[in-house]
Amino acid sequence: MADVFPFATFPVAALRWQLLGATISGGPTLSGPGQVARFDGGGWWGCELSGGLIRTQEERRAWHAWLLSLEDGLGLVELPYLEETPPTGTARLSGAHALRATTVAIERQSGWSGPLSPGMAFEIDNSSQYKRLHMIKRVVSTLGSVDTVEVRPPLRQAAADDKALNFTTPKCLMRLDDPNGDAWPKLNGNWNGDWSTRFVEAFPPPPV
């Protein structure tokens, strides 16, 4: 099982989630603007972390040990999607949904004060695709406690009725993507430094 990235131990000044590879651009043409085509898989998540500080020897050793555990991108980590005020309600899928579904029905259970909203992120813990992050593009309809919503990226795996969804502490299985070595801090004469890096969504083989 992958460890959860410890933001409390390694705080950052800024982070940016981005859906990568969702489209393919044809580039400029002689006769007009270039065209953009949608990628069937719906893209994958990337998250940039910047402004991480190294102020003590203990922090440096702890950060270096964490980097070594990530095996230069071979190791896996669950990266939390952080929000100022995370939702506290529980939710589940209403009905079964197919692989690559982009419209899903979500039943709000306890703890909700109203319908779901566009831009909300949630996690599905799949049996073979691990923890996957999805985001609500728009709310199509609301009937009682069930919201029908469009999501991106598409579902990574078919999901059964009543599948639990995590809106409070959503996470995504990711790996280190640091070709320039920016995660390794550059220290000054006072032994202080900073680091930045990026994680991208990981797709390991399903467990046997």
For the chain, list the domains and their CATH numbers.
3-81+172-201 (3.30.200), 91-169 (2.40.30.290)
Specify the 3-state DSSP secondary structure of 63: helix
Q: Which residues contact 137 (CB under 8 A, 6 or more apart)?
A: 118, 149, 150, 151, 152
CA distances from 100 to 145, 153, 176 (A): 24, 8, 25
Q: What is the pLDDT along the chain (208 residues), one digit of tens a residue?
A: 689 999 999 999 999 999 998 755 555 655 555 444 444 568 999 999 999 999 999 999 999 999 999 988 889 999 999 999 999 999 999 999 999 999 999 999 999 988 999 999 999 997 666 899 999 999 999 999 999 999 999 999 999 999 999 999 999 999 999 999 999 998 998 999 999 999 999 987 655 5
Q: Give the position of tokens 């995660």.
A: 183
Question: Residue 134 contacts by C-beta under 8 Å, 6 or more apart in sequence?
Answer: 121, 122, 123, 124, 151, 152, 153, 155
